[in-house]
Amino acid sequence: MTTTMSERFAYLADGPASVDGAVRAIAPALELELVEVAADSGASRAFDDSEAALHLAAQTLGLVESLGLTRVLTSSDAVTLHLRRSAHRLAADVALRARVNARLAEVGAPPTSGAVDVQHLVWELASERALALLHEHCLRPLEDLRVALLRGCQLLRPSRDLGASEQDLLRPLGRVVAACGASEVPIESGSGCCGAACAETRPEIALGAAAVPLVEAVDADAEALVVASSRCYAMLRDRREQIARNVDRELALPVLHVSQLVALALACVEESCSSIA
């Protein structure tokens, strides 16, 4: 691997530690050079405080730009949507950008141009470049593994804000899973919702929504549920018992973030994310 060939990203390491660990572990083999940035993207308040969320996104984007970077990588669907939408708004609306940058200046934060390309990990993994490397380095093809997929609401919708058609946005996770050698078990709710956004405010809605993909995956005899977003991962992993109790079902199905599946395939699991083994 040479630095000239690698893809350089600012990486927002704000996922669960096991996901961030897996991302760090697979990065070298996939020639991803990650410059870790600790910043609040604002995604978690995008629906409750849109103004603050926009400013936090701008601050994050400005920070990335001040590091000489033009690309951001994240493992979360919500962060992807929020940063992409914010970047687009800031780039397109001169007056808005001036107003927001003035606020950033007040707290000594660097301004943003909005011209930052925000990528989700699974999109990058599904690029021709990364897939070729994945094939090349796949030490432990997961040939016997039957997995159901959960693609992550905010990696699919609103497609207008994500800048691609919903059809195109449906594909990346399946491609990565196939490159790892695993086989996909189709479930109806694969492009559905894990309920994470409501987990605190309306837990019964969140738990009800979260049960759907898990139940379908179990019923389809999947051996694991692979999720594209670290947010879905946290929801389904951390609240599994509650979800299961709520629907009175045994839902002892492993949930893997796509970075962890890739880590398994690349056989770098022992060093980086033993918690999932």
Partner 1 sequence: MKVSLAIRRSQGGLEARREQFSVTVRAGATLLDALDQIKDARDDSLAYRAACGSGGCGACGVRVDGRSVLACETPVAPLVDGGHVPVVAPLGNFPVIRDLVVDMEPFWAKHRAIDPAPRVAAGSGAEAGAPDEVACVLCGVCVSECVSLAHDPDFLAPAALAIARRHVADERESERVRAGRLANVAGEHGAGACVACGLCNERCPKGVEPLWSIAELRTLGPGGGSGGAGPLARVRGLLGRGDRSSGSKLLTALRAPDDDDDE
- Is 226:262 a contact under the CB 8 Å cutoff? no
Size of the site for partner 1 (CB under 8 A): 45
For residue 223, give the amino acid letter. E
Contact set for partner 1, span 80-119 (CB under 8 A): 81, 103-104, 106-109
- Which residue number, 30 or 97, has a Cβ lying nearer to partner 1? 97
Query: Among 10, 19, 32, 46, which residue sits at the site for partner 1 (rule: CB under 8 A)?
Result: 46
Interaction mask 14-33, partner 1, x per CB under 8 A = --------------------
R_g of the chain, CA atoms, integer Å: 19
Q: Which of 1, 5, 17, 52 binds partner 1 (CB under 8 A)?
A: 52
Question: Which of 17, 51, 219, 267 is the binder for partner 1 (CB under 8 A)?
Answer: 51
Residues 6+ apart with CB under 8 A from 33: 3, 6, 7, 8, 9, 27
214 scored as a contact of partner 1 (CB under 8 A): no
CA–CA gap between residue 215 and residue 24 (Å, rounded)? 31
> Site mask, partner 1, residues 149-188, x = CB under 8 A?
----xx-xxxxx-----x---------------------x
Distance of alpha carbon 13 from the chain centroid = 11
The CB-of-162 to partner 1 minimum distance in angstroms stands at: 9
Of 30, 39, 87, 138, the one binding partner 1 by CB under 8 A? 39
Q: What is the DSSP letter of 268?
A: -
Asked whether position 229 contacts partner 1 by CB under 8 A, the answer is: no
Taking the complex as a whole, how short is the minimal distance between the CB of residue 203 and partner 1, in angstroms? 11
Residue 248 as a binder of partner 1 (CB under 8 A): the answer is: no
Q: Does 249 bind partner 1 (CB under 8 A)?
A: no
Binding status of residue 48 toward partner 1 by CB under 8 A: yes
Among 195, 215, 224, 255, binds partner 1 (CB under 8 A): 195
Contact of 182 with 145, CB cutoff 8 Å: yes
How far apart CA 114 and CA 67 sit, in angstroms, is: 14
Q: Tell me which DSSP letter residue 111 carries.
A: P
- Compute the Cα dihedral for 120, 228, 138, 14 and give only its sign: positive
Long-range contacts made by residues 268-275, C-beta under 8 angstroms, separation at least 24? 268/25, 268/26, 268/29, 269/22, 269/25, 271/25, 272/21, 272/22, 272/24, 272/25, 272/26, 273/18, 273/21, 273/22, 273/25, 275/18
Nearer to partner 1, 65 or 180 (CB): 65
d(CA 94, CA 107): 20
Interacting residue ranges for partner 1, rule: CB under 8 A: 38-40, 42, 45-52, 55-56, 59, 78, 81, 103-104, 106-109, 153-154, 156-160, 166, 188, 192-193, 195-198, 201-202, 204-206, 208-209
